[in-house]
Amino acid sequence: MLAPRLWNLLKLVIAGALFWYLIETGRLDVANLRLAAERLDLFGLAVVLLALGTLITVHRWRVILASQNILLGFGQALRLTLVGYLFSATLPGMLGGDFVKSYYVAKVRVRRRRSLSLSSSIVFSDCTRCLSLRSSR
């Protein structure tokens, strides 16, 4: 196994190479970043609102899990939520990241007999999210 610093350096080199490739092929238009630089107030507000939405999502998920006697720390729930965001962005379908999240919680915290209730908490969380979006119109 590579030393942690060498592993992190390798990841940075790969990320840099991917960014270079996207910019050179025209798939990432850097000129659009100028808009964010011109309106830092709006960009900052967008970042704050995105972070607030993520924190609310983490809290809602912890409350739903606590109702099933599955206790997660806030940091662990935040990490799993961000992992879920990553897989939701990369896997096809709407629930990809949520099921990855439930897999990791089941692996760490839940016995097999409660894994069905864990999956139902993910579906319930998504249903409440959809209903809240529907009622805000």
The predicted pLDDT at position 72 comes to: 86
24-28, 95-99, 123-127: lowest mean pLDDT where? 123-127
- State the chain's mean pLDDT as an integer: 80
Structure token digits, residue 9: 């350096």
Dist CA 98 CA 115 (whole Å): 14
* The model scores a pTM over 0.85: no
Compute the distance between CA of residue 85 and CA of residue 76 in angstroms, rounded to an integer: 14
pLDDT of 51 higher than 80: yes
Asked whether 70 and 109 are in contact (CB, 8 A), the reply is yes
Q: What is the pLDDT of residues 84-112, one digit of tens each?
A: 888 888 877 766 787 788 788 877 765 54
* Tokens coding 79: 């990490």
Q: Give the total residue count for the chain.
A: 137
